[in-house]
Chain A
Amino acid sequence: DSGVTQTPKHLITATGQRVTLRCSPRSGDLSVYWYQQSLDQGLQFLIQYYNGEERAKGNILERFSAQQFPDLHSELNLSSLELGDSALYFCASSPSRGPSGNTIYFGEGSWLTVV
């Protein structure tokens, strides 16, 4: 158990809908990262938050947004969903502002299926 908790574990929704994925980082970790992993593809970095502030942005679509709350949990909002958004979405956390030198712990992921 990495200590990173993601909910829901599985989600099936229709095209055009909006979903929210939730992540609780490891106790004491200030950074939260979101990644997307499509079938048979590598992990794609979406966005990072550090202590409530956006720290780094990757290939995140404009239809997607995220935030980190004062209690450090984070949410990833996906809207106007398309079939191609079906993927495994991972949250990861680490104690520091950047990934250098620290182990980054991944949650078990949220499986999103868009039908």
Chain B
Amino acid sequence: KNQVEQSPQSLIILEGKNCTLQCNYTVSPFSNLRWYKQDTGRGPVSLTIMTFSENTKSNGRYTATLDADTKQSSLHITASQLSDSASYICVVTPAEYGNKLVFGAGTILRVKS
């Protein structure tokens, strides 16, 4: 069964600190892996999208990594800001025909001053 699991479920860090969010998936084969940021009550916003052949992708202070062999991805946030407080969702696209996105449950990040 295609699954995406994220850890930790929630995280609190101090402003200015770095953090890393984890995503493990069983989707195989897959065509790409995405990270989205979702503010409370708002629509998810795309941060990165990586194909199975890419290892890393950056978007400002956000850097995603992908290890297709171990089926793991991480999202590293550098120099966190209060505005980074949100849910971060890992999404995997299966390579099969009629593919449907497989969503993780998300990691809730709270950045405090």
- Interface range on chain B: under 10, 10 to 19, 20 to 34, or 35 or more? 20 to 34
Q: Which of A17-61 contact B (CB under 8 A)?
A: 41-45, 48, 55-56, 58
Complex: A92 Cα to B103 Cα, angstroms: 14
Q: Are B101 and A45 in contact (CB under 8 A)?
A: yes
Q: Which of B58-113 contact A (CB under 8 A)?
A: 89, 93, 95, 98-101, 103-106
**B26 located at the interface, meaning its Cβ lies under 8 Å from any Cβ of chain A in the complex:** no
A4's partner among B41, B43, B93 (CB-CB below 8 A) is B43
Complex: A58 Cα to B99 Cα, angstroms: 11
The smallest beta-carbon distance between A78 and chain B, in angstroms, is 19
**B28 located at the interface, meaning its Cβ lies under 8 Å from any Cβ of chain A in the complex:** no
Contact digits for B35-69, partner A, Cβ 8 Å, 1 yes 0 no: 01000011111100101000000000000000000
Residues of B within 8 A of A66 (CB): none
A43 with B103, Cβ < 8 A, contacts A100-B31, A100-B93, A103-B46 known: yes
Complex: A44 Cα to B98 Cα, angstroms: 16
**A82 located at the interface, meaning its Cβ lies under 8 Å from any Cβ of chain B in the complex:** no
Provide a sorted-by-A list of 21 A–B residue pairs whose CB atoms are within 8 angstroms: A2-B45, A42-B105, A42-B106, A45-B100, A45-B101, A48-B100, A55-B98, A88-B41, A98-B98, A99-B100, A100-B93, A100-B95, A100-B99, A101-B51, A103-B34, A103-B46, A104-B46, A105-B46, A108-B42, A108-B43, A109-B43
Residues of A within 8 A of B (CB): 2, 4, 41-45, 48, 55-56, 58, 88, 90, 92, 98-101, 103-109, 111
Residues of B within 8 A of A (CB): 31-32, 34, 36, 41-46, 49, 51, 89, 93, 95, 98-101, 103-106
